[in-house]
Amino acid sequence: MTQRLKAKIKTADTIVAQTVKIGSGLRLGDLSDVDVTNQSDGVMMIFNSTTGNYEVTTQIQNENLNIIGGTY
């Protein structure tokens, strides 16, 4: 089955087309806002609001972090 798309475009409009394929082989580090530099066993991921990225680390020193419950 072939799908067709019809549209009318004004000259001031901008068209942005993007194809994203998700399947086997996709890794967390492939995401644009994830920094897996220093990835190793036992790392945790934390959001860095300065860089706008999620980063991996073995130590979290952040005054905004609260861990409630459980055994550590």
Q: Report how many domains make up the chain.
A: 1
Which stretches of the chain are assigned E, i.e. beta strand? Answer: 34-35, 44-48, 53-57
Domain span including residue 32: 28-57
The candidate with the shortest Cα–Cα distance to 64, out of 44, 42, 49, is 49
Q: Specify the pLDDT at position 13.
A: 65
Residue keyed to tokens 């009318």:
8
Residue 47 lies in a domain: yes
Indicate whether 72 belongs to any domain.
Answer: no
- 41 in any annotated domain: yes
Residue 63: inside a domain: no
Would residue 40 count as lying in a domain? yes
User: Using CA atoms, how far apart are residues 23 and 27, in angstroms rounded to an integer?
Assistant: 10
The yes-or-no verdict on residue 9 having pLDDT over 80 is: no
| pLDDT, tens digit, 9 for 90 and up, residues 41-54 | 988 898 999 999 99
**Chain segment 11-69, per-residue pLDDT in tens:** 666 777 777 776 777 788 888 999 999 889 988 898 999 999 999 999 888 888 888 88
Closest of 64, 63, 26, 29 to residue 43, by C-alpha: 29
